[in-house]
Amino acid sequence: MLAWPAPLLPTLPGSAPVLALHDTARGEVVPTAPDTTARMYVCGITPYDATHLGHAATYLAFDLVNRVWRDAGHAVHYVQNVTDIDDPLLERAERDGEDWVVLGMRETALFREDMTALRVLPPDDYVGAVESVPRIVAHVETLLDEGLAYLLDDGTGDVYHDIAQAPGFGSESGYDEATMLRFSAERGGDPDRPGKRNRLDPMLWRGRRPGEPSWPGPRGIAGRPGWHIECATIALETIGMGFDVQGGGSDLVFPHHEFSAVHAEALTATVTGEKLPFARAYVHAAMIGLDGEKMSKSRGNLVFVSKLRGEGVDPMAIRLALLAGHYRTDRAWTPDLLAGAGQRLATWRRAVARDAGAPAAEVLQGVRGRLADDLDSPGAIALVDAWAERTLAATADEQEEGAPAVVRDAVDALLGVALQER
């Protein structure tokens, strides 16, 4: 699929520290150790509605990962999927009497516009589930051949992964069975379905149902793919096993990231005999809420990026408002947050418009240090605030010629906030 245009990325003087991130599997902040090319997979949208501020916050968190790695001299192979076939997409299309393909394409196009406006670096591979179906089918076929997957005995054509045979199962989320059962029921699983070997077994292939789109499938069974095998397949096809960061919102910790990892690890073990982990770190962004509830399409308590843009809100203010909280802290969206970000943006713009300002080297290294420490964007923002205050208040003898330009580039490259007047 087409991604979106990349913003220009200024090169900064000096050198950057190693990025450390919180890994859900290990439950602690760990240094990343990418090769020359860092590899990252971030779960993309299910395009049945417009991008809300929760989605935006999650993609901004991983955009910081991308930017910090690049500043440290790595190339980054960034992959994102589009879940362009799934139950909620079909349900919304049915409700609105619309073609599901048209709905998915329209919302994906809007997402691209939102990401462009927010200056999110685009993925190198932007891959839809639908275009991946033949490769997904081959993977399901392999798991069936190996006896690791089974066909349900009820004539539906549904295929499940037998997780009793998956040694790594549970190591990503670390949840106990009761928690897994609860999240499975809430997030697209079917723990109460009769005939499964284990209540938690995830669906790999859903046999064709009347009125639903379908593709030729494993063992000649027409249908459509399960959710987790889509992301496992897309990651395997693009960046392979053992990549640096698997990312998404915290609502993907279980079942989605657990089962993507289990599917991919089972496939790799059967093909190469190697017991490689899917990802080196599983990184999760906290939830953005509105009026005390998680912002979600199913709840309908949404603030859309495109709506704010349409009202004339500067996308850089949206970006700053979301980055003003730490990515691992659940937080609420409020009008005050946006107003505060707008004021901050205006102050920063006034400061970088000067020819001279408070010394830049310290703030540059400070921002690098804060972001490298598990993406402490509030800490980084506070340093720029302090610099702007000193620049705007300072007496002439404290001023360093050219400092504002360095800070402008640092804020652009590292925080992704463009400060030149538009």
Torsion on CA atoms 404, 407, 412, 418, rounded to nearest 10: -30
The closest of 250, 260, 261, 251 to 168, measured between CA atoms, is 261
Look up residue 200 and give its DSSP letter. T
User: Is residue 234 marked as binding?
Assistant: no
Query: Rounded to the nearest 5°, which phi and psi values hold at 45?
Result: -80, 160
Q: Helix (H, G, I), strand (E, B), or coil: what is residue 390?
A: helix
User: Of ligand 5CA, Zn ion, none, which one sits near residue 308, judging by CB under 5 to 8 A according to partner kind?
Assistant: none
For residue 358, the minimal CB distance to ligand 5CA (Å) is 35
Is 251 among the annotated ligand-binding positions?
A: yes
Minimum CB separation from ligand 5CA for residue 43, in Å? 4
Judged by beta carbon distances under 5 to 8 A according to partner kind, the member of Zn ion, ligand 5CA, none in contact with residue 77 is: none
**Quick one: which of 231, 317, 364, 417 contacts Zn ion (CB under 5 A)?**
231
Is residue 127 close enough to count as binding Zn ion by CB under 5 A? no
Q: How far is the CB of 185 from ligand 5CA (least distance, A)?
A: 17
Interaction between residue 239 and Zn ion (CB under 5 A):
no
Residue 47 near residue 112, CB atoms below 8 Å: no
CA distance 408 to 373: 21
Binding-site member from 21, 25, 40, 43 for Zn ion (CB under 5 A)? 43
Full DSSP string of 101-122 = HHHHHHHHHHHHHHHHHTTPPP
Closest CB to ligand 5CA among 38 and 85? 85
Tracing tokens 């964007």 back to the chain, one arrives at 377
Distance, CA of 184 to CA of 299 (rounded, Å): 18
**Number of other CB atoms surrounding residue 211 within 10 Å:** 7
> Which of Zn ion, ligand 5CA, none binds 294 (CB below 5-8 Å, type-dependent)?
ligand 5CA
Q: Is 264 in the site for Zn ion (CB under 5 A)?
A: no
Nearest to ligand 5CA of 24, 46 (CB atom): 46
140 binds, among Zn ion, ligand 5CA, none (CB under 5 to 8 A by kind): none
Phi, psi of 304 (to 5 degrees): -90, 140
97 marked among binding-site residues: no
**Contacting positions for ligand 5CA (CB under 6 A):** 43-46, 54-55, 57-58, 81, 83, 231, 248-249, 251-252, 285, 287-288, 294-296
Q: Give the span between the Cα atoms of 324 and 330, in whole angstroms.
A: 12
Q: Which residues are annotated as a binding site for Zn(2+)?
A: 43, 231, 256
Residues belonging to the binding site for L-cysteinyl-5'-AMP are: 43-46, 58, 81-83, 227, 249-251, 288
